[in-house]
Structure formats: C-alpha cells, structure tokens
Chain A
Amino acid sequence: MFDAALIPTRLNPTPVRTIAAKDIRDALRDRFILIVTAFLAVAALVALVTGAIALRGDVATYEAAKASLLALGKSADAIKAPEFYPLRLLRGAIEQIEIIGAAIAILIGYRSAASERGRQTLALMLTRPMRRWQFVAGKALAGIGLLAGGLALVLGGLTLVLHFLSGIGLGADDLLRIVVVWGVAVAYTACFFLVSFILSLHMKQPSHALLVAFAVWLTLVLIAPQIGDTLDPDNQVAGGVFKQLNIAKPDQVEIMKSFATFETVRDGIEQASVTKHFERFTFAVLGIKATYAGMPLGPILIEMLGNLVWIFLTALGLGALALALPLNPDRLAKA
C-alpha cells in the first residue's frame, strides 16, 4: 500500500473543479436546491401572470372606451392605447429575484459552509495535498453555479411563458436583454451567497452567521431601498409630484438644486444597496422604467454602467475576501 508511485508528485491541479462538481451533485441529490428553485419559479410566474392579467384589463378597458366613443360617432384619438412592452411583464419576477432570490442565495451559502462543519468532512479535505483557497474557490464556484443554473431555469421558463402569453413573440433583442439580466442576476445573488458563505465559514456558530446574513439582507434588500424611496421628494404624491404638477424636466433639475445635500444623503443610502443597483439596471434594460422603454440596449448599458460596475465589484470584492481570509480548522471542525 505504501507505494511511492501512488504519491502525487505535483500539486493536484483540479481540486477546485473536483470540489465544485461534488458540491453540485450533492446539492441536486438532496433536493433542497430543486425545491427553492421551484419556489422562486412559482413566485416569479405568479408575478408574471398577475402583470399579464392587469395588462389585459387595461386593454379591455381601452377597447370598451374606444367602442363607446365610436358608437357615439366620435373619434377614438382622444384616448391613448395602452403601451405593450412584453418584457415589462417581468417586473414582478425581477422583484422576486431581488428579494426571494437573495434570500435563497443566503440559504445556499449557509448550507455550503455549514454542511462541511461538524461532520468532519472538512478535515478529510484539508489533509489532502491542496491549498486552502482551492477549497473555498471550489465551494464558491459550486454555489454560484447552482444559482446560475436556478436563475437560468426560472428566467428561461418565464421567457417561454412570456413568448406564448404576449401573442407577438419575443425578438432577438428581447432575448439578449433577458440574457444580460440573467448574468447580472447571477452576480447580484452571488453577493448574498458570498456574504452568507463567508460568515458561515468564519463565525463561531454557523446558526449565528445565518442570522447576521439575514440582517444584512434585510438592510440591503428592504430597508435601504425603502428609505431611499420614502425620502424621495418626487415620491410624495402618487404618480410623482413633478408629473402631477406638469413641471418640465429642466425645471425639475433647477428645483432639486435647492435640495442638493438632502438628495446626496438620500441617494447615498440607496447607492449603498446592491439591490438598488440591480433594480435600476434591470428596470432600465427591460424597459420597465418608462424612460428606457423602446430605447436600444447599447445606450442603456452605457448609462447603467455605474450600476453594473457596482454589482460586479461587490461580487468580486466578496469573492476576494472569501479567498483571502485564513481558514481556522479547529473552528471548522465544530458545528
């Protein structure tokens, strides 16, 4: 058995891939990932269908009003037909990814680290000829891979439903926008996965780490964007103060100059949340925000570059932190 020929003479180049493949197989077999992905898919589908029903209602109202006007012998030009951008129907799905997707990412991060702690499989791994960062990289790769797969299933399924639901089908540009949104959604959820993974790997009690991760989620996903929205002067009246008062854009800018400090603080709170960046980016790309409806993808990407950079830098920064923090095997051996 003690055979020098069996002892590897060089550092094994594949532990990252090996650990990632094992984690993905392990996760798929215990059905947790499948269940949470199905849950997100159902939530997103319900949001999509609700949006479609609301749009159908708008169309029916418009048709009824138009028919009434025509019956009275009047022109129907006075009423505006509802605009139909199919991708706008994804608004609810994006909000589900923002909130539930981030929560699922936290659970996956927690399970990824906590599942190795206490059952001593970590000790078996760390006594192999590999570097500790390779263990972290393998686990992170698997977690992000599972998120990418889950989001692809959800968005792919929604795309199919949307394609048949809209009746007019989706073009190549629409599909490209959905792919872009998928990529950014992976980076966005990866941020929450990494927060939870790092905390669960390094805190004394993984269960405490889960609580802290959810506190971070609550702050970034719900509290910060809500504070930003609530304090926005334009949000104080339904439909927007400026719009209701018919104030033109240049005048709006002039008025807001008087609230520069307030606006900097308010915007700063929003900017601190990766969720807000994700929302701004995806709402623009999918044309959910009216300003961007019908606008080509290129200029939108240029305008939204700051949000994109923020999301990817957050994910990369957290990834670098996960790799850089030294592992404490004694702590990791305890559940």
Chain B
Amino acid sequence: MSEPMIRLNRLTQSFDGVTVVDALSMDIEQGEIFGFLGHNGAGKTTTIQMLTTLARPASGTATVAGYDICNEPLEVRRRIGYVPENVRLYDTLTAAENLVFFARLSGVDAPARRVREVLELLDCTYLADKRVGGFSKGMRQRVGLAQAILHGPAVLFLDEPTSGLDPMGIKMLRDLVMRLNTEFGMTIFMNTHLISEIAKTCTSIAVLSHGKLVYHDRIEAVTARYGDDAALEELYLSLTPVGRLAEVA
C-alpha cells in the first residue's frame, strides 16, 4: 500500500501553555477531498499552519507528499498550494502581476505563460489586467485559488474557502475544487464550517473539538451510518460543544 499523501502523527501545538491541537493522528490518501470540520477555535487553522510549514509543531510530526514538515519544509512547500481564509493580494497590482509574482517565488519557468494558462483554466482571464484593489470577495477568491495552483501542487490547502462568499461564489468554488481533484488528481485539504459543502464535495471528513480529533471516516461510511446530509449535521453537532449546548437547551 502506498504512503498516504498527508500523515499526522501525534501533531501537537500549544500557545502560552494552552494546547490548541492535541496529539492529532490521521492519514489522508492521495486524491482525496478531505473536509476538516470544527467549531471556532477548535484548532483547524493551526493544523493547516503546521502542515503548510508556517508554524512548527510543539511536538509530534507530520509528512506531506512524503516529506517531513519540520525537517524538509522546502520540499513540502514545493508540493503544496495554500489559500487562506481571507485572500488579500496586493491591491495596487493587477491580478496577472500578483500571479506572476507568486509564480516567480515558486520557481515556475515562464511565469507569464503559466499565469495565462491558470487564468484560462479558472475562466477568469478577464481579471488579468485589472487591479486587485477593486475586486469583489469572489474575484479575490478565484485569484487566490489561481496563486495556489500555479506550480501544480500535489496538495491544496483551503482554509474556510467559502467564508463570505454568496451562493454563486460558493458553487463556483466548489466546481473548481472538484475539477482540480477529478481532472488533475490534486489532494484537497479543506477547513470549513459548511456541512452542506462537505456532503457535496468531500470524500472523507474529520471533526476536531478543542484540539482533539473526535471523528474521522470516509464520507460513504458517514452517510451509510447516519443517512443523508441532515444526518451529517446531526453527527457534527453531537461531536462539538455547540451541539452539546443545543442538546442541553
């Protein structure tokens, strides 16, 4: 059996003595769309920060595309793309200038040509020569996604990608993510609050509560055990403090 695309082994992070990610262990296989659920402050973003080499774990290890996040961060960075929750690019530069900048930083040969290809792929060539300062949230998210896939990463990390988007924007993003996964075999790691999106997009899910992993399974197993989308919501609520609070009420 081949090595998983992402492997977490007792990954732990703490700030000022408070443990925010607590001994997280799980495997995510190549080609999966993985949905990472959890309440605000559960530790989802902190986990992404460690996996994208932005922050060093307090203890534990993880590998991404077979490379250790602590010992081989440059190899990891060559193989990942990252879209933060609020994509804020350089407002004074055009979309194409922003993308060429990130392509150069990624070491892409012929960055201008590559930027055109990616913009065509995402159906947003019309944004190329416009300054990002005047973009809507949806437009920014598209360019944000474009910057993350310029170098053809093996794994794409999305942190709350649908946050603040209208229904059209959410659908557009969902379609793009599905396309990147099915056409190009990209593994997707997605933090989200939207359970409906998880049901429509993901092949496996995990639920994090107060830094601890409380559930991890493939989506078929979830639906087989709990039924339809509404049941997925019930599962999530039963595993998180918000849900337990609702039960008490």
Using a CB–CB cutoff of 8 Å, the interface residues on chain A facing chain B are 1-8, 10-12, 14-15, 18-19, 22, 25-26, 29-30, 118-121, 123-131, 329-330, 333
How many chain-B residues does the 8 Å CB contact rule pick out? 43
Structural contact, A329 and B54, CB atoms closer than 8 A: yes
Question: Which of A1, A26, A30, A123 meets B84, CB within 8 Å?
Answer: A123
Closest-CB distance, A115 to chain B (whole angstroms): 9
Q: Is the CB of B78 within 8 A of A8?
A: yes
Q: Are B78 and A1 in contact (CB under 8 A)?
A: no
Q: Which of B55, B82, B105 contacts A15 (CB 8 A)?
A: B105
Nearest CB of chain A from residue B11's CB, rounded to whole Å: 16
What is the CB-to-nearest-CB distance from A1 to chain B, in angstroms, rounded to a whole number? 3
B35-94 interface with A by 8 A CB criterion: 49, 52-55, 74, 77-82, 84-90, 92-93
Contacting pair A123 B79 (CB below 8 A)? no
* CB contact between B105 and one of A6, A18, A29 (< 8 Å): that residue: A18
CB distance from A264 to the nearest CB of B (A): 46
CB distance from A328 to the nearest CB of B (A): 9
A10 lies within 8 A of B87 (CB)? no
The answer on a CB contact under 8 Å between B92 and A26 is yes
Asked whether B77 lies within 8 Å of A127 as measured between CB atoms, the reply is yes
Residue in B closest to A17 when the chains form the complex, CB atoms: B104
Q: Which residues of B contact A330 (CB under 8 A)?
A: 15, 49, 54-55
Q: Which residues in chain B, 160-180, are within 8 Å of chain A measured between CB atoms?
A: 180
User: Chain B residues near A15 (CB, 8 Å)?
Assistant: 104-105
**Can you pick out 5 interface pairs between chain A and chain B where the beta carbons lie within 8 Å of each other?**
A3-B152, A15-B105, A120-B84, A125-B105, A129-B77
Q: Which residue of A lies closest to B179 (CB)?
A: A1
With CB as the reference atom, state the residue of chain A lying closest to B83. A124
Whether a CB of chain A sits under 8 angstroms from the CB of B207 is no
Q: Is the CB of B90 within 8 A of A126?
A: no
Q: What distance in Å separates the Cβ of A50 from its nearest Cβ neighbour in chain B?
A: 37
For A26, give its contact among B74, B81, B90 (CB under 8 Å).
Answer: B90
- When the two chains form their complex, are residues A8 and B108 in contact, meaning their CB atoms are under 8 A apart? yes
Contacts A1-B121, A10-B107, A129-B77 aside, 11 further interface pairs with beta carbons under 8 A come to A1-B152, A2-B153, A3-B184, A7-B78, A7-B153, A7-B154, A12-B105, A15-B105, A118-B88, A121-B89, A330-B49
Q: How far is the CA of A171 from the CA of B88 in the complex (A)?
A: 51
Specify which of B74, B87, B105, B186 is in contact with A2 (CB 8 Å cutoff).
B186
Structural contact, A121 and B88, CB atoms closer than 8 A: yes
Closest to B108 in A: A6
A63 to chain B, nearest CB (A): 55
Q: If the complex has contacts A14-B104, A123-B82, A130-B105, are A1 and B149 also in contact, measured as CB distance less than 8 A?
A: yes
B88 and chain A: residue at smallest CB distance: A119
B183 within 8 A of A: yes
Q: Is B106 interfacial (CB-CB < 8 Å)?
A: yes
The answer to whether residues A12 and B97 also contact, given A120-B84, A120-B87 and a CB cut-off of 8 A, is no
Q: Is residue B185 within 8 Å, beta carbon to beta carbon, of the partner chain? A: yes
Q: For residue B149, which residues in chain A have a CB less than 8 angstroms away from its CB?
A: 1
Q: What are the 7 tightest A-B residue pairs by CB atom distance, in nearest-first order? A: A1-B184, A8-B107, A6-B152, A119-B88, A12-B107, A29-B92, A3-B152
Given contacts A10-B107, A129-B78, A330-B49, contact A22 B92 (CB under 8 A): no
A235 CB, min distance to chain B CBs, angstroms: 48
**Contact call A29/B93, Cβ cutoff below 8 A:** yes
Q: What 1/0 flags go to B94-119 for Cβ under 8 Å of A?
A: 00010001101111100000100000
Q: Determine how close the nearest CB of chain B comes to the CB of A180; give it in whole angstroms.
A: 35
- Minimum Cβ distance to chain A for residue B93 (Å): 6
Q: Distance in Å from the Cβ of A275 to the closest Cβ of chain B? A: 33
Contact A7 B151 (CB under 8 A): yes
Given contacts A7-B152, A22-B93, A129-B106, contact A2 B185 (CB under 8 A): yes
Which of the listed residues B55, B92, B102, B105 has the most CB atoms from chain A within 10 Å of its own CB? Answer: B105
Nearest CB of A to B110, in Å: 11
Contact A329 B183 (CB under 8 A): no
**Which residues from B are CB-within-8-Å of A118?**
88
**B147 contacts the other chain (Cβ, under 8 Å)?**
yes
Query: Whole-angstrom distance between the alpha carbons of A79 and B185 in the complex?
Result: 92
- Please indicate the chain B residues that have their CB under 8 angstroms from the CB of A26 in the complex: 90, 92-93
Question: B55, B90, B106: which contacts A128 (Cβ < 8 A)?
Answer: B106
Whole-angstrom distance between the Cβ of A331 and the nearest chain B Cβ? 10
User: Which chain B residue shows the least CB distance to A10?
Assistant: B107
If A1-B152, A123-B54 touch, whether A128 touches B93 (CB-CB below 8 Å) is no
Q: Using A14-B104, A121-B90 as known contacts, say yes or no to A2 and B152 having CB atoms under 8 A apart.
A: yes
Residues from chain B with a CB closer than 8 A to the CB of A2 are: 152-154, 184-186
Known: A1-B184, A121-B88, A124-B82. A22 touches B101 (CB 8 A): yes
- Shortest B192–chain A CB gap in Å is 17
CA–CA, A25 and B149, complex, Å: 24
